[in-house]
Amino acid sequence: MNCLSKLEHPQLDLIHRGKVRDSFRIDPNTRMIVVTDRISAFNMKIKTPIPHKGAILNGIANYWFKQTEDIVPNHVIEQIDPNITLVKEAKPILLEMVVRGYLAGSMWRAYEKGVRTFSGITVGDGMHRNQKFEQPILTPTVKSATDDEISEEEILKSSLLSPEQYADMKQKALALFQRGTEVLAKQGIILVDTKYEFGFLNDELILIDEIHTPDSSRFWNAENYAANPAKAEQMDKEFVRLWLIANKKDGQYVDVLADDVVAETSKRYADIYQLVTGNEYQARTEALLKDIEQNLTKAGIL
Ligand SMILES: Nc1ncnc2c1ncn2[C@@H]1O[C@H](COP(=O)(O)OP(=O)(O)OP(=O)(O)O)[C@@H](O)[C@H]1O
Ligand SMILES: [Mg+2]
Residue 43 has pLDDT above 90, yes or no: no
Q: Output the CA 210–ligand 1 centroid distance in Å.
A: 9
Closest-CA residue, ligand 1 atom 20, reads: 18
* Domain co-membership, 171 together with 273: no
* Domain co-membership, 160 together with 103: yes
Residue 252 has pLDDT above 70, yes or no: yes
Q: Which atom of ligand 1 is nearest to the CA of 75?
A: 1
Q: What is the pLDDT of residues 188-231, one digit of tens each?
A: 999 999 999 999 999 999 999 999 999 999 999 999 999 999 99
- What pLDDT is stored for residue 146 in this prediction? 87
**What value does the mean pLDDT of the chain take?**
97
Residue 161 has pLDDT above 70, yes or no: yes
Residue 246 has pLDDT above 70, yes or no: yes
Residue 187 has pLDDT above 90, yes or no: yes
Residue 20 CA to its chain's centroid (Å):
10
Give me the mean pLDDT over the 70-90 stretch: 98
Q: What is the pLDDT of residues 125-157, one digit of tens each?
A: 999 999 999 999 999 999 988 889 999 999 999
- What pLDDT is stored for residue 64 in this prediction? 98
* CA dihedral sign of residues 271, 277, 282, 288: negative
Residue 115 has pLDDT above 70, yes or no: yes
Q: Is 195 in the pocket of ligand 1 (CB under 6 A)?
A: no
d(CA 2, CA 149): 39
Q: Is 87 in the pocket of ligand 1 (CB under 6 A)?
A: yes
In a domain, 24, yes or no: yes
- What pLDDT is stored for residue 24 in this prediction? 98
- What pLDDT is stored for residue 291 in this prediction? 97
Number of domains the chain contains: 2
Q: Is 76 in the pocket of ligand 1 (CB under 6 A)?
A: no
Residue 1 has pLDDT above 80, yes or no: no
In a domain, 120, yes or no: yes
Q: Residue 229 — φ and ψ, nearest 5°?
A: -55, -40
Closest-CA residue, ligand 1 atom 21, reads: 18
d(CA 231, CA 27): 47
* Domain co-membership, 110 together with 86: no
Domain of residue 129, CATH code = 3.30.470.20
* Domain co-membership, 58 together with 149: no
Residue at which a domain ends, from 183, 199, 231: 231
- What pLDDT is stored for residue 54 in this prediction? 98
Site to probe by mutation for ligand 1, drawn from 4, 7, 15, 21 as the one with most ligand atoms within 8 Å of Cβ, is: 21
Our CA dihedral for 159, 165, 169, 172, rounded to 10 degrees, sits at 180
* Domain co-membership, 18 together with 115: no
Closest-CA residue, ligand 1 atom 30, reads: 209
In a domain, 246, yes or no: no
Q: Output the CA 209–ligand 1 centroid distance in Å.
A: 6
* Domain co-membership, 105 together with 219: yes
In a domain, 87, yes or no: yes
In a domain, 5, yes or no: no
* Domain co-membership, 268 together with 168: no
* Domain co-membership, 71 together with 111: no
Domain of residue 70, CATH code = 3.30.200.20
3-state secondary structure of 102: strand
Q: What is the pLDDT of residues 272-296, one digit of tens each?
A: 999 999 999 999 999 999 999 999 9
Q: How confident is the model at residue 262 (pLDDT cuts 50, 70, 90)?
A: very high
Residue 77's domain spans which residues?
13-91+252-298
* Domain co-membership, 51 together with 116: no
Angle (nearest 5°) at CA 267 between 264 and 273: 145
* Domain co-membership, 68 together with 112: no
* Domain co-membership, 75 together with 23: yes
* Domain co-membership, 49 together with 99: no
